[in-house]
């Protein structure tokens, strides 16, 4: 080393000693403001901690870091063969769906090799969905048992007359039982898909659960058609009698007499409580059918991107403090949203139907006959559907006022 070089090195060391401290402090400050600067744009400790705490981390820093072919080293250079994109950048592009992937498998979306949103769906499904869904169903059963213990079976208060009136024609009973039968099958096989791993595998083992799960899936996919046909039949047969009117308000004001003995508010063919059941069945039935069809035909019937677009246009997410919903969804994401929606609707639907089944069987004396033989005891009809009874027995002129 020459004397000149030595002097230069000395000068540099002095300059560093004088200015180095503030420079380092600046770097630390910068890192505190923007921790990612300290990692050269990669993942930070804060990202990892946030993710471990279940917070959402904006992945833009890596979803866009997928290399730059324009800066590829020459073919003879050290990085030439990868064309300016490292292995991790390639995998990132595959993960975030921006890779130009070619696959030999045919079929739509076969070139989606990694689907990043799948983890969120999986966590939600085995976390909140199963937990709150399970508790909702258990709470419904507990509430029904408590109701039975406190209120007991709702009896026919007056003396039985020994005569009956026709309440539901054969076609009405057929539609009801087609819907009820298919619903129960769909409910049981659907619940086995959601809770089977958790509840059935510990009970019957994996070997026995596998055929149960396969058969259940087949039943679920195919009996859905029976449910949809019955839903249309029930709608056509009963919609007119389920249009709300003023009598319903009086019925609701006394809780339909469900909570006090000897109280029998007047009602037509369907009382307000039954109208609530009817409209719940129609709205939830249509929603569960459409989301189920979307799951059966994910590439032909996507529905969430279009729904989100409409919700965004109405500004609804903003009203509840949410960011606009995604309007472009891969088929897998469509299925994930459809699966969650389908399950949430199913759980609410099953809870409502459990209450209905209770009242239509053990909960109320004389009710089952309406759907069994179709004939009900005249006294039962007087107490629960007085206006309708008068109408069918000719004791009063049929009400011709338009429904309000
Ligand atoms: C074992 C199960 C079930 C039993 C014992 C049962 C019983 C009954 C009875 C007795 C009625 C007539 C009530 C009356 O005369 O006023 C009825 C009506 C009705 N059922 Fe069911 N049902 C069952 C399952 C279902 C299911 C699964 C659904 C729908 C998914 C359903 C939907 C309806 C509807 C919409 C009505 C008319 C409105 C009402 O009465 O609430 N039922 N059911």
pLDDT band at residue 38 using 50, 70 and 90 as cut-offs: confident
DSSP state of 364: B
The reported pLDDT for the residue numbered 142 is 98
The reported pLDDT for the residue numbered 216 is 97
> How many A from CA of 402 to the centre of ligand 1?
26
Least confident of 81-95, 120-134, 141-155, 262-276: 81-95
Task: Indicate if 146 and 26 belong to the same structural domain.
Answer: no
Q: Are 303 and 289 in contact (CB under 8 A)?
A: no
> How many A from CA of 176 to the centre of ligand 1?
7
| Atom number in ligand 1 closest to CA 361 | 5
Q: Name the closest-CA residue to atom 40, ligand 1.
A: 274
The reported pLDDT for the residue numbered 82 is 62
Task: Indicate if 131 and 160 belong to the same structural domain.
Answer: yes
Predicted TM-score of the model (pTM): 0.82
Residue 128 resides in a domain: yes
CA distances, 371 to each of 39, 86, 376, 379 (Å): 70, 69, 9, 17
Measured distance CA(103)–CA(112) in Å, rounded = 9
Number of domains forming the structure of the chain: 3
Task: Indicate if 149 and 86 belong to the same structural domain.
Answer: no
Q: Long-range contact list for 308-311, CB < 8 A, 24+ apart?
A: none
Task: Indicate if 29 and 127 belong to the same structural domain.
Answer: no
Q: Name the closest-CA residue to atom 4, ligand 1.
A: 357
Q: Best of 144, 171, 176 to mutate for ligand 1, by most ligand atoms within 8 A of CB?
A: 176
The reported pLDDT for the residue numbered 79 is 57
Q: Is the pLDDT of residue 402 over 80?
A: no
Domain with 385 in it? 118-168+239-392
Measured distance CA(284)–CA(304) in Å, rounded = 17
The reported pLDDT for the residue numbered 85 is 78
Q: Is the pLDDT of residue 230 over 90?
A: yes
Q: Is the pLDDT of residue 179 over 50?
A: yes
Q: Is the pLDDT of residue 37 over 90?
A: no
Q: Are 348 and 129 in contact (CB under 8 A)?
A: no
DSSP state of 269: S
> How many A from CA of 309 to the centre of ligand 1?
37
Nearest to 221 by CA among 190, 250, 246: 190
Q: Best of 172, 174, 175, 180 to mutate for ligand 1, by most ligand atoms within 8 A of CB?
A: 180
Task: Indicate if 273 and 322 belong to the same structural domain.
Answer: yes
Q: Measure CA 396 to chain center.
A: 47
Least confident of 8-12, 20-24, 193-197: 20-24
The reported pLDDT for the residue numbered 33 is 67
Residue 296 resides in a domain: yes
Task: Indicate if 26 and 141 belong to the same structural domain.
Answer: no
Q: Name the closest-CA residue to atom 1, ligand 1.
A: 357
Task: Indicate if 277 and 316 belong to the same structural domain.
Answer: yes
pLDDT band at residue 17 using 50, 70 and 90 as cut-offs: very low
Q: Is the CB of 156 under 6 A from ligand 1?
A: no
| Atom number in ligand 1 closest to CA 370 | 15
Task: Indicate if 53 and 141 belong to the same structural domain.
Answer: no
Task: Indicate if 130 and 92 belong to the same structural domain.
Answer: no
Q: For the chain, what is the mean pLDDT?
A: 87
């Amino acid at each position: 080393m020459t004397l000149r070089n030595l002097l230069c090195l000395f000068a540099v060391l002095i300059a560093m000693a004088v200015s180095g401290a503030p420079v380092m402090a600046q770097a630390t400050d910068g890192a505190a403001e923007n921790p990612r600067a300290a990692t050269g744009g990669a993942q930070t400790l804060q990202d990892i901690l946030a993710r471990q705490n279940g917070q959402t981390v904006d992945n833009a820093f890596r979803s866009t870091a997928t290399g730059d072919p324009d800066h590829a080293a020459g073919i003879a250079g050290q990085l030439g063969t990868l064309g300016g994109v490292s292995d991790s950048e390639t995998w990132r592009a595959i993960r975030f769906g921006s890779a130009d992937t070619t696959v030999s498998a045919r079929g739509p979306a076969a070139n989606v090799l990694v689907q990043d949103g799948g983890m969120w769906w999986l966590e939600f499904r085995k976390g909140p969905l199963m937990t709150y869904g399970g508790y909702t169903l258990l709470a419904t059963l507990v509430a029904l048992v408590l109701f039975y213990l406190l209120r007991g079976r709702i009896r026919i208060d007056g003396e039985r007359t020994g005569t009956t009136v026709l309440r539901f024609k054969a076609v009405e009973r057929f539609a009801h039982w087609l819907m009820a039968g298919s619903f129960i099958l769909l409910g049981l096989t659907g619940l086995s898909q959601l809770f089977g791993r958790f509840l059935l595998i510990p009970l019957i083992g994996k070997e026995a659960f596998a055929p149960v799960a396969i058969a259940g899936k087949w039943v679920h996919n195919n009996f859905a058609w029976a449910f949809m046909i019955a839903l249309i039949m029930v709608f056509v047969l009963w919609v007119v009698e389920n249009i709300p009117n003023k009598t319903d308000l009086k019925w609701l004001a006394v809780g339909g007499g469900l909570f006090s003995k000897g109280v029998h508010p007047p009602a037509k063919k369907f009382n307000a409580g039954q109208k609530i059941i009817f409209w719940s069945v129609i709205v939830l039935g249509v929603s569960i059918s459409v989301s189920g069809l979307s799951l059966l035909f994910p590439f032909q019937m996507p529905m969430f991107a279009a729904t989100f677009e409409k919700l965004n246009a109405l500004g609804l997410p903003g009203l509840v403090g949410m960011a606009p919903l995604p309007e472009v969804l891969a088929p897998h994401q469509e299925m994930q949203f459809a699966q969650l929606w389908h399950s949430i609707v199913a759980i609410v639907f099953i809870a409502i139907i459990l209450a209905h089944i209770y009242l239509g069987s053990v909960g109320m004396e004389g009710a089952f006959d309406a759907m069994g033989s179709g004939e009900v005891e005249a006294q039962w009809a007087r107490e629960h559907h007085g206006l309708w009874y008068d109408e069918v027995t000719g004791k009063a002129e049929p009400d011709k006022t338009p429904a309000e």
